Amino acid sequence: MRFLLTLILCLSLTAVWSQTTQPPALRTRRNSTISQEGPTLTLQEAISAALEKSYQIRIFKSQEEIARTDFRTAKASFFPNVTGNLTNNNNLQNLRQEFLDGLRPPQNLYGITNKNTQVGVAVNWTIFNGFGNFIAYDRLGEVVKLNEVNTRANVEATVADVATAYYDVIRQLQQLVSLRQALDISRERLELARANFEVGTRSRVDFLSAQVDYNTDSSALVAQQQNVRNAKVLLNTLIVRDPATEFAVRDTIIVQPDISLDQLRQSLVNNNPLLVAAALNRRVASLNVRLAKSAQLPTVNLTGGYNFQAINNQGGFGVRSARNDALVYGIQATVPIFTGFNQRRLIANARTSELISEYQESDQRLQLQQALEQTYSQYRNNLILVNLEVESFKIANQNVDIAFERYRVGNSTAVEFRDVQRNAVAAETRLINAEYNTKIAEIELLRLSSQIMQQTK
């Protein structure tokens, strides 16, 4: 009688499980979403916030403004320098005098004031210095361009960093969804193992193994939740707001499958800010050579001025008062004859620096081309991996359905089902990472070719 009741209970439980215990939606990740707190943050909103608030961009823009100010004020070197001066000397004396001839009585004077006032204006105009002022002016213009390019490079790097961090949040959230769905399967398996153990159809070992696997998946979920928080904190920091700010993002990563390598190469050569900066540095080095050579030529200055002097002497000797004014003008030429070979050394060093800048430009071009080729190869390989992992993901989910059904009816062991479940989770993780890596390679290609501001989505 007891055996009959047990058999009826087992059949009843089996019927119930057959209706309620279907494999969760692990195989439908593309349609899965996860509840997120806070307003939705789009990638464009994140980029706009970073460009507006980034302290690094503000620093580069401030340095750019300094260079512009230096360039504007450099025009002063083409005009004369005018200086004014005023000197007012006063002294207060007490005078006691006795004369040797004895004919004049002693003289005692107290509180004698002597004043000497000079007022003048001086003009100095360099009309020729080996064209050094023109060269220096051109050099400052190149420095302005260099600072503008450095600012653009920092802006593009910031956009790339924000996009990378944004898609990392999506990746971590997708993996969180995957682990939650895996945990749902482990929970249903645990409930099934508990029910079977209670009616005596499965062993206690099977039930305890299900409990251990459930705890393992719970631990992995907690760790992944921390990864999501870390990714959001990083993105909040990049867009310069409270790191604890909650927000939601879209739950898919869309890659561009048709980026042209030839267009990337051409755009890199023409637009990459690091390459443009290297060319500007070479230009500045060339101007430094010309500036050093200009010091070998004569310097010609026109000088002029006006001076006025007033004297008021109450001492009673010499000139009591006087007024004197004078207009002075002239020309001054300075010719460097021998400087201990110092100027020759400066020119040689400037030429060496110019050669170094040429090497640096060539090396920069080579390094950027290498980075472009390697990144494009990674991009193409990742596209292939995405297609392969999509197929593996579909197969792995089908195996989960089959394995769960076999485990439910007792045709497979817990170890066999756990292996299938792990394979499915691993396949989905590989797919998520392949999509993310493809997107990151795409972002880097756009940054290297200086197209990231136009094409980042």
Tens-digit pLDDT profile for residues 367-381: 999 999 999 999 999
Describe the strand order of the beta sheet including 321-334 as a list of residue ranges: 81-97, 107-128, 299-313, 321-334
Tens-place pLDDT, residues 222-233: 999 999 999 999
- Cβ atoms of 123 and 80 within 8 Å: the answer is yes
d(CA 77, CA 125) in angstroms, rounded, equals 9
Residue 436 has pLDDT above 70, yes or no: yes
Would you place residue 20 in the very low, low, confident or very high pLDDT band (cuts 50, 70, 90)? very low
Q: Which of 30-44, 88-102, 442-456 has the highest mean pLDDT?
A: 442-456
- What stretches of 284-414 adopt beta strand conformation (E)? 299-313, 321-334
**What percent of the chain is helix, strand and coil (3-state, nearest 5)?**
65, 15, 20
**Chain position carrying tokens 């006025």:** 308
Helical spans, DSSP H, in 97-240: 132-199, 204-238
Name the nearest CA neighbour of 126 among 292, 302, 333. Answer: 302
Mind listing the domains of the chain with CATH numbers? Answer: 43-92+116-455 (1.20.1600.10)
Q: Report CA 167 to chain centroid distance, whole Å.
A: 17
The better pLDDT of the pair 28, 287 is held by: 287
d(CA 284, CA 255) in angstroms, rounded, equals 41
Positive or negative torsion for Cα 437, 438, 441, 446: negative
Would you place residue 29 in the very low, low, confident or very high pLDDT band (cuts 50, 70, 90)? very low
Residue burial 273-287, b: 16+ Cβ < 10 Å; e: rest: bbbbbbbbbbbbbbb
**pLDDT at site 364:** 97
Name the nearest CA neighbour of 433 among 399, 380, 382, 391. Answer: 382
Tens-place pLDDT, residues 56-73: 999 999 999 999 999 998
The better pLDDT of the pair 369, 9 is held by: 369
Q: Which of 91-95, 352-356, 392-396 has the highest mean pLDDT?
A: 352-356
Hey, how many other C-beta atoms are within 10 angstroms of the C-beta on 140?
A: 20
Tens-place pLDDT, residues 364-422: 999 999 999 999 999 999 999 999 999 999 999 898 889 888 878 878 788 888 888 89
Tell me what the mean pLDDT of segment 179-201 comes to: 87
d(CA 287, CA 222) in angstroms, rounded, equals 61
Distances (CA, A) of 102 to 108, 218, 318: 15, 123, 22
d(CA 67, CA 71) in angstroms, rounded, equals 6
Least confident of 230-234, 340-344, 433-437, 441-445: 340-344
φ and ψ of 152, to 5 deg? -65, -40
Would you place residue 114 in the very low, low, confident or very high pLDDT band (cuts 50, 70, 90)? confident
Residue 98 has pLDDT above 80, yes or no: no
Question: 114 by DSSP, 3-state: which?
Answer: strand
Question: 359 by DSSP, 3-state: which?
Answer: helix
The better pLDDT of the pair 114, 81 is held by: 81
Task: State the Cα angle at 314 between 308 and 320, rounded to 5°.
Answer: 50
- Cβ atoms of 296 and 343 within 8 Å: the answer is yes
d(CA 392, CA 33) in angstroms, rounded, equals 21
Rg (CA), the chain: 42
**pLDDT at site 447:** 96
Question: 35 by DSSP, 3-state: which?
Answer: coil
Name residues whose C-beta falls within 8 Å of residue 373's C-beta, 6 or more positions apart in sequence. Answer: none
